[in-house]
Amino acid sequence: MSDASPVVTPAIQITGVTHVFRGKGRELAVLDNVSLDLPTGGFVSLVGPSGCGKSTLLRILAGLLAPDQGSAAVAGVSTLLRPGLVSYMPQKDLLLPWRRALANATLGAEVGGAPPAQARARAAALFERFGLAGFERSWPAQLSGGMRQRLALLRTFLISRPVLLLDEPFGALDAITRREMHTWLQQVLRDDERPGEAVRSVLFVTHDIEEALLLSDRVVVMSPRPGRVVAEVSVAFARPRSASLVVSAEFVALKATLLAALERR
């Protein structure tokens, strides 16, 4: 009898990804030999300067862009020009102004093939959990910034995929609202861990080091363009994590480590 442990397939596996944008007689190298993985149920944040390829990496994982070199896979399946393997939330909420909140929430599920009535029932059942109860018939213009982001994330959650790609979902919010959203997102992900359902794995892009440390199990630091992985920092704080954690000596030390990594070239 073999004592070998079973091979565990990562939720996300990126190997040697390199990409160059070409157009109008010029080339722009954005990613250089990037490799990383995300275990099932993990929460990994990508941090790095603007233009280092974080969003491009998410687009590759979402099957919207093919890299020049390397490979990307979700649960062992190649994402090469194969959209639909993940739930993907881009930087802007992209809510449709002519659809009420409930109709916006169901859009992704309906595009994915869910019957409209079923999608509406699932969305309506989650409005309270996402802090949107009573706003089902509101237009996007009637919602606050935080509510719009929660609605966009609800739309993403309703696309039933075990991997979530979140591209700076709270980047446009004020500091107070962002703190509220950090607490809320942790609660939503914890509530999502129900028996018999796939555990969500999250790859989260942010420019905010404190946000990354508050939310993540691991933070991956990328260099300026072309983006390379220059450091990976494990975050072992117990959950749930509150905003008061940022003043602890351990948190400050990890933040200093990440800042030093960001300053490397």
pLDDT tens, the chain, 265 aa long: 455 556 678 999 999 999 999 887 788 999 999 999 999 999 999 999 988 999 999 999 999 999 999 999 999 999 988 888 999 988 888 899 999 999 999 988 888 788 888 888 988 888 888 888 999 999 999 998 888 888 988 898 888 788 999 998 888 778 887 888 888 888 888 876 655 556 789 999 998 999 999 999 999 999 999 999 999 999 999 888 888 899 999 999 999 999 999 887 5
**Domain edges within the chain:** 12-86+162-262, 94-160
- What pLDDT shows up at residue 198? 60
Q: Give the per-residue pLDDT at 256.
A: 94
d(CA 37, CA 214): 20
Q: Give me the pLDDT at residue 201, please.
A: 92
Q: For position 153, what pLDDT does the model report?
A: 85
Q: Cα–Cα distance between 182 and 35 in angstroms, integer?
A: 27
Query: Which residues in the chain belong to E strands, given as ranges?
Result: 12-23, 26-38, 43-47, 69-74, 77-78, 87-89, 163-167, 201-205, 218-222, 229-234
pLDDT for the residue numbered 32: 95
Three-class secondary structure of residue 167 per DSSP: strand
Give me the residue label for tokens 């935080």.
146
Neighbours of 236 (CB within 10 A): 8
Nearest to 61 by CA among 20, 94, 15: 15
- Give how far the C-alpha of residue 243 lies from the chain's centroid of Cα atoms, to the nearest Å: 20
CATH class of residue range 12-86+162-262: alpha beta
Is the pTM for the entire model greater than 0.85? yes
